[in-house]
Every structure is written in C-alpha cells, then in structure tokens.
C-alpha cells in the first residue's frame, strides 16, 4: 500500500456486470472479464480481492479461472485477498486452511476472509496455517450488511457485543507483533460508528466504498486512530468502468488518491 497506493479492488464478476461489459454470462465471459481486470490492475494495485462465489458458480471451470487469476495477480506483484468467508470446525476448517493458506495449493493467497461465528477458536487451523506460510486472515467483525447487526451487535453476559469479543480475540492474536499482526478484521466502511475499539494491531479491511455508499472521506470518522491500518476496498466503483483497461486503471488511481487525501499521513 505504501508503494502502490492504499486500495484493495474486488474482482466480482456479477452476471449483470458481465452483461454491462458486453460479455456473455458464461465461462467465456468470466475468463475475459477476469483476465482484463488482472492485466489492467495487478501490476499497480496493492491488493486484489476475488470473490470466490462468482467463480464457483461455474463449477470446476470457474475455479480454474480463479486459480489462474490468483497466480497471475501474485506474479505481477499484487497481494491477493481471497474473499471466501469460510468458517467451520476441526478437520473441515483445516481443509479450508489448506485450500487458501498452503503454498502448495493452486488457490494459495496472501490472505483469506473467515467467519468466526462457530466460535473464534474454530479458526485455529487457519490461524496456524497462515502463521506457518507467512500470510494472513481477515476475520468478519462488523460487516456492512444490515442483517449482520442481529449477530454482531448482540451482547453476552458481560455486556460486550459479539463484535467486541471477536475484536478482542484478534487483538490477542496480534499482541506484540510489529509493525502489525497478520490477523485482520473486516469492518464495513458504511457503518458510520463502530461503537467498539478497533485497535487490534492488525489490518482493517473496509468494504463498502463506492457502490455501497461509503466514501474515503468517511474513513477517519469511523476508524479514528486506527485509520492508518485500514485497507479500503472498492469493487463495482472501479469495475463499472470496464472493459477499457485504461478506464479501470484511472478509476483505481482516483480512489487511491481520494484515500490518501482523506487519511493523510496516518
């Protein structure tokens, strides 16, 4: 982010977006879309975030497109954050960890999003795998979807919200790490007020900028002293400018410049 700009761009091949690009909503359209985004952005954007579901819907051929995109993006110098939101227990969580956090896997990524709502301890196989491989995870804490509040804002016997409990676990995992720990939190940029301590000594993925309504100017008010650790994420706000590669690059550069202006030297 220091060298390429403070921005994560999602690769979300919605069927409607493929159509808007003049592509067919099939494997050929998926391949063309994905190749265009990777070729346009992977050598200049800090983080690319493929949404796994939009590839999985095409079965094994879609997964093959995703594998190629991950490899080519990382080869061009971008960090790849796999947006898979996996969460399970025991050996199943271990299998998810092997899928995304084992360097021998064709889907090996620099980080993966995880759901902790089977208990934070259920994530241990992935946390250990990330530590071994030198990569990271982003744990869902306060998501931007309105339905998330019924779980994440629910309070336990000690009066803390579930989101606060998860953020506490993340901070404990990152204790003593310099400059930051490898366990990040997902905190939606559209929230307005987090209402919890976001100082987890780890990166904070902030989706929701652009089409979902948040702007870079919203980041300092939401994240406060932790704003320097934010990884702002935009998807449709950039992708809608395709299929022209120059327009995609220009949109990403504008968002990165807006983030720099809003965050300053944080």
Element (H, E) at 95: helix 90-101
Could you confirm whether 68 is annotated as catalytic? no
Catalytic residue among 4, 14, 74, 85: 85
Structure tokens at 103: 């360097």
Q: With beta carbons less than 8 A apart as the criterion, state whether 46 and 111 touch.
A: no
- CA 136/CA 128 separation, integer angstroms: 10
Identify whether 215 is preceded by a cis peptide bond (ω within 30 of 0): no
- CA 81/CA 79 separation, integer angstroms: 7
Q: Report, as residue numbers or ranges, the catalytic residues.
A: 85
């Amino acid at each position: 982010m220091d060298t390429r700009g403070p921005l994560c761009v999602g690769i979300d091949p919605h069927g409607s977006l493929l159509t808007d690009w003049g592509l067919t909503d099939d494997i050929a359209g998926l391949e063309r879309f994905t190749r265009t985004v990777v070729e346009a952005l992977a050598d200049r954007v800090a983080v690319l975030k493929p949404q796994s579901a939009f590839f999985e819907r095409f079965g094994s051929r879609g997964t093959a497109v995703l594998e190629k995109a991950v490899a080519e993006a990382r080869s061009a110098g971008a960090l790849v954050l796999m947006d898979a939101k996996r969460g399970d227990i025991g050996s199943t969580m271990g299998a998810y960890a092997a899928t995304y956090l084992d360097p021998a896997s064709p889907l090996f990524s620099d980080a993966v999003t995880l759901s902790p709502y089977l208990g934070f301890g259920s994530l241990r196989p992935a946390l250990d795998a990330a530590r071994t491989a030198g990569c990271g995870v982003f744990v869902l804490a306060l998501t931007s979807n309105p339905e998330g509040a019924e779980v994440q804002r629910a309070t336990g016997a000690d009066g803390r919200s579930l989101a606060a409990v998860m953020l506490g676990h993340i901070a404990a995992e990152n204790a003593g790490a310099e400059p930051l720990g490898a366990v990040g939190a997902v905190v939606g940029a559209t929230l307005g007020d987090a209402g919890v301590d976001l100082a987890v000594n780890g990166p904070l993925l902030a989706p929701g900028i652009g089409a979902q309504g948040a702007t870079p100017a919203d980041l300092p008010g939401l994240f406060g002293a932790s704003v320097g650790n934010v990884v702002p994420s935009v998807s449709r706000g950039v992708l809608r400018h395709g299929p022209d590669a120059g327009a995609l690059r220009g949109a990403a550069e504008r968002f990165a410049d807006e983030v720099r202006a809003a965050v300053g030297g944080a």
